Amino acid sequence: MLPIGGDPRQGRGRAGGYLSTIKRVAFGTATEKPSGMAEKALLFSACKNRRRPHFGRDCGAKLQVLINSSAGSMQFASLVKATLHRNGIHPRRWLIGVRSYSRYLGYIRPHLLQATEEEFRVRRQLVAKAWEPRQLVAPIGKRILAICPHPDDESIGAGGLLLAHRDLAEIHLVCLCDGAAGGSLGTSERDPRAMAKARRVEFQNTAAMLRASSVHHLDYPDGNISCSPEDVERLRSIVCDIRPDVVTLPWFLDGHVDHRSANLLYALACGDIAATVLGYEIWTMLEPNAVFDITTLLPDKLSLIRNYPSQLATVDYVRYASSLAAVRAYQAGFRPLRSGAAEAFVALPNQEYCELVCKLYGAHAVPTTRK
């Protein structure tokens, strides 16, 4: 901030000095070259009054130089920005990705920078369904299948819901990726095999706390979930053996490449089964049409998340899950003072959910019949 000391009309003080310099140059009485600030002030005055003041003999040349300099800088910046965006490069997005999950540069957020028209259409459709989210009450089914792209997704996204059904339903877990690329084991050298082994142990500890009836690992490399016909049949075989009436997985617009690939794999494999799908949120908040009160279960849910020290070494998922649960409880308003904790879901019939996924990610149709 500039000091306001002195009388501007007499040219005393810093502010008065600038005004005095501008006045002398404007009326052609100055012999010295005005400072950069004086020139900028004159340019501002000209733009504001929509006319060119008298700066002296070479006022036109000075004003044109300033205008050309500013226009050239703006054109160059616009050209660089447009070039980067045409090639799918968003510097801010990459920096956020590096800071939050370096394995997936640029994939995490803000994903809507490259959103398609179909994605916006689906979001509007979900918003229409989310005006009055209904409160889920346990039990919501007899057999619950939790599909998790990575070990820990099931706990962060739907840990409270699963805990509420430990003694009320069968819980089955299917983990798609080996998790070798994420987290830290506290050593200087990165060992993917050691990380994959550690995450499998962490997942087994979580399965024990959930009293899971079955646990399946498909062991895809992180970032490379396959949707080949063989992989589609492989997942379908597992799901058909379980015969779930409720399926949970990250919702189809969650901002992670593996989470979206998991949705496509599931939609191609199981578009014709009779079930309800509950899509949960990890990286991207959703427009919920269903919520589940986990106020009394929140401490146990956070304990589930603490089963994954390799992941907590890089991201504070405990605080994230606790804070998100408080936000969702506030929005749901089913507790006094809008307190408590809740989980939010996109809840849709299985066929409708899978049709949306296939429209979003390029599959032309959801299989409706299988041998």
Quote the longest CA-to-CA distance of the chain.
Answer: 95
- What is the reported pLDDT for 37? 58
Q: Is residue 200 part of a domain?
A: yes
Q: Are both 61 and 133 inside the same structural domain?
A: no
Exposure string over 181-218, b if 16+ CB within 10 A, otherwise e: bbbeeeeeeeeeeebbebbbebbeebbebbebeebbbb
Q: Are both 15 and 158 inside the same structural domain?
A: no
| Strand 246-250 with 276-280, pairing | parallel
Q: Are both 181 and 51 inside the same structural domain?
A: no
Report the SS3 class of residue 193: helix
How many other CB atoms are there within 10 angstroms of residue 144's CB atom?
Answer: 29
Q: Is residue 89 part of a domain?
A: no
Q: Are both 323 and 272 inside the same structural domain?
A: yes
What contacts 58, CB < 8 A, 6 or more positions away? none
Q: Is residue 204 part of a domain?
A: yes
Q: Is residue 2 part of a domain?
A: no
Which among 82, 97, 127 is the end of a domain?
82
Percent above pLDDT 70 for the chain = 67
How many other CB atoms are there within 10 angstroms of residue 254's CB atom?
Answer: 26
CA dist 334 and 294 (Å) reads 11
Q: Are both 342 and 211 inside the same structural domain?
A: yes
Mean predicted confidence (pLDDT) in 40-67: 56
The reply to whether omega before 110 is within 30° of 0 (cis) is yes
Q: Are both 201 and 338 inside the same structural domain?
A: yes
Q: Is residue 342 part of a domain?
A: yes
Q: Is residue 95 part of a domain?
A: no
Quote the number of domains for the chain: 2
Q: Are both 200 and 273 inside the same structural domain?
A: yes
| Strand 214-220 with 276-280, pairing | unpaired
Residues 306-346 have pLDDT tens digits of: 999 999 999 999 999 999 999 999 999 999 999 999 999 99
Residues 354-370 have pLDDT tens digits of: 999 998 887 644 443 44
Mean predicted confidence (pLDDT) in 288-308: 96
- What is the reported pLDDT for 131? 58
Residue given tokens 């997704």 in the structure block: 153
Cα–Cα distances in angstroms (integers) from residue 334 to residues 103, 141, 328, in the given order:
39, 22, 10
Say whether pTM exceeds 0.85.
Answer: no
Q: Are both 194 and 280 inside the same structural domain?
A: yes
Judge whether 3 and 15 are in contact, CB under 8 Å.
yes
Mean predicted confidence (pLDDT) in 85-100: 64
Q: Are both 65 and 125 inside the same structural domain?
A: no
Residues 183-193 have pLDDT tens digits of: 888 887 888 99
**Which CATH number covers residue 188?**
3.40.50.10320
DSSP label of 16: H
What does the chain come to in residues? 371
Cα–Cα distances in angstroms (integers) from residue 340 to residues 293, 322, 329, 337, in the given order:
8, 10, 6, 9
Residues 102-122 have pLDDT tens digits of: 444 444 444 444 566 677 677
User: Which band of pLDDT confidence, cut at 50, 70 and 90, is reported for residue 76?
Assistant: confident
What contacts 370, CB < 8 A, 6 or more positions away? 236, 272
Domain span at 42: 8-82
- What is the reported pLDDT for 15? 46
Q: Is residue 112 part of a domain?
A: no
Question: At 203, which amino acid appears?
Answer: F
70, pLDDT greater than 70: no
Q: What is the mean pLDDT of the chain?
A: 80
Residues 179-232 have pLDDT tens digits of: 999 888 888 788 899 999 999 999 999 999 999 999 999 999 999 999 999 999
Q: Are both 208 and 317 inside the same structural domain?
A: yes
> Nearest-CA neighbor of 229 among 269, 261, 178, 195?
269
Q: Are both 59 and 125 inside the same structural domain?
A: no
Mean predicted confidence (pLDDT) in 273-299: 94
Residue 101 structure tokens: 């999950």
Residue 289 structure tokens: 């049409």
